[in-house]
Structures are given as structure tokens and as C-alpha cells.
Amino acid sequence: MKVLIKTSITGKVNKQGYTLVEILLVIVLIGVILVLAVPSTRDVFTGDNLKKASRQFIALERKLRVDAVRDQITYILCIDVSNSAYWVITSDMTPEKQDEIKKSPQHLPSDVVIMDLVDENNQKTSVGEARLYFEKNNICSPAIIHLGYEDDKMTIVINPFLGVTDIYDKYVDISMSGSGQYVSK
């Protein structure tokens, strides 16, 4: 039968277990690891709603571009800025079908709001409905969407020609120039 003999920091033989210093050292190390790990993993478990909302809009924008080219029909993204909701209709839908779809809109993740939307005419809409058109030739309406969640803000810039969407982790005041380019104010 083997007996494990452990020596402590002081060099004395310890047959009882761990010393108070060793236990405190382990507790401190676990505390340091938790302090470093919790902020980075918090968003993984709870999810960052603002980033979820921006990914939701970007994925929808890309899907509508592809669908419009594939189906050779104009898709219209209707955004209810006041209620932070949206729905998709097509140009060939009857008004009755459009109203039916409008009654069950998609909503952004909890507590994320659409602060405002800037359209191709530099009109800022902060209440009511705005529409973005996705044409069958892969061109869409340019738009700037400002999202907010608690104290955080995010700006999504939809480029009509390149199919590239820019994202800023803050509220960026941008407008369209006469040449179709975005300029910061």
C-alpha cells in the first residue's frame, strides 16, 4: 500500500491535505479566470441583440437581392420604423395579399429599435413605414438604417450597386450625394 506524502510550502511533511495558502491560491486563480472569461462569454449565452438585428437585416438584404434576380420580380422590404418590424412583399401581389402579409410582420430581437431610416432621397424616417426595393437587375434602394439597443447604436449602410453592406458600431450620420455615393455629414 502506497502512502502519498505531500510536502507543504514550508517544507514540512503534510499528511492531512492542502494548506490554507494553497487553497487560497487556487481560489484566486479560479477568480481571475472567471473575471476574464465572463465578459467574453456573456454575449455567447445571452446574445447581443443589436448584432443579431444587424445580421438579420444583412441576411435579409442579401436574400432579397438573390431572390429578385432568380425570380425576375421586384421584392419590397417594408419597414415599420415605429414598431421595429418588417415584412416582405412583391410587386405582383394584390393589395389584399399585401395587407394580409402586413398583419403578421417580423420583429427585431427584444428591445432593439429602428431609430430611423434614411432613403435614397435623403429623407430621414423615424416614424411610419419605409420601403426598400430589390429589383430583378440586382440593384436595390440605397438606405441607411440606424438601430439602437439600450445605450448602443449601430448603422447599416445598404449600397445599391455593389451588393456590399457597411456596418458601423455607432450612429453615423451619412447621406447620399447627387452622384449616388454616401458622404458623412
Tell me the pLDDT tens digit for each residue of 54-102: 888 888 888 998 999 999 999 999 999 888 899 999 999 999 999 999 9
Q: What pTM was estimated for this model as a whole?
A: 0.69
Phi, psi for residue 6 in degrees, rounded to 5: -115, 140
> In terms of pLDDT, which residue wins out, 153 or 13?
153
Q: Quick check: 14 pLDDT over 90? A: no
Query: How many alpha carbons lie under 13 Å from residue 179 in its C-beta half-sphere?
Result: 3
Q: Quick check: 10 pLDDT over 70? A: no
pLDDT at 46: 47
What does 89-114 look like in DSSP terms, one character per residue?
EETTS-HHHHHHHHTS-EEPSTT-EE
pLDDT at 90: 92
Q: Is residue 76 within 8 Å of 69, Cβ to Cβ?
A: no
pLDDT at 56: 87
pLDDT bracket for residue 142 (50, 70, 90): confident
Residue 49: which residues within 8 A CB-CB, separation 6 or more?
A: 108, 109, 110, 111, 112, 149
Question: Average model confidence (pLDDT) for the chain?
Answer: 81
Q: Quick check: 5 pLDDT over 60? A: no
> In terms of pLDDT, which residue wins out, 3 or 128?
128
26 to 9, 12, 54, 177: CA distances (angstroms): 14, 20, 41, 61
